[in-house]
Copies of this chain bind each other. A is one copy, B any other.
């Protein structure tokens, strides 16, 4: 098992070329946030924008429109019930993050299956939170052509993979990830990443992160990093490391680290850790 360490950052976070524009840094669509769980998609969107994604559209329940813009005037809003508006944006996105606060009702299932239908070869699909539960409950097959990134915590991974937490060995997880056709980030005290024939373990992380919304922030960062950086599996590793490294730093002075604080720390953290 390989360790994910500081060195992944400068391998991934490139210095931006002088002559570039917002299109250079990718289009992301984030889908989630029911009326009950609106904060989740806002935190994921915050992470995507603050990690430097070029153009961010958030598809969510209309009751979350104002909060989204209060946190992020930089993000565009689409009512996720409006599939006519949503579909072309999902198709055009380089990265789709689906699941934070999506919920598991029929409406959520409809959006998820539609997103799977629209997925294509040049797209990264980050599947998180409720979307993972929906995949498990409905035995959905992941899209064939997109790069599928799953970000379950251990219980969600049990649901998706059928492997009980106690039995989640590296070998079992790797086999399941490959069978699912996915890169899998199993979140825990020491997060592990499974991709093809490699297994990685994160070396950072703090119990100060044990609070609601931490995973939504990671999902948004995975979106932001894969949208910008060429080697996408490495971009996922860098997002995982950066998320815990920022938390570790904040935890020197804080008993609990709020998820939105990690996003707000991203621009300076990424600058310090970019390649020269």
Which residues of A are at the interface with B, using a C-beta cutoff of 8 A? 13, 16-22, 24-25, 35-40, 42-43, 46, 49-56, 62-67, 69-79, 85, 153, 188-189, 206-208, 210-214, 251, 253-260, 266-271, 274
Contacts and interface: CB of A to CB of B under 8 A. Distances in A.
6 contacts: A18-B189, A21-B210, A37-B76, A66-B70, A254-B270, A255-B271
Contacts of A67: 65-66, 69-70, 73
A16 B62 CA distance: 38
Contacts of A17: 207
Given A39-B76, A207-B16, A255-B271, A212 B55 contact: yes
Contacts of A85: 36
Contacts of A13: 255
Given A254-B271, A256-B50, A256-B52, A73 B40 contact: yes
A226 to B, nearest CB: 16
Contacts of A25: 210-211
Contacts of A40: 73
A61 B79 CA distance: 15
A271 B253 contact: yes
A16 to B, nearest CB: 4
A204 B256 CA distance: 24
Nearest to A89: B36
Given A36-B76, A67-B70, A267 B257 contact: yes
Given A63-B65, A254-B267, A258-B49, A212 B71 contact: no
A142 B109 CA distance: 42
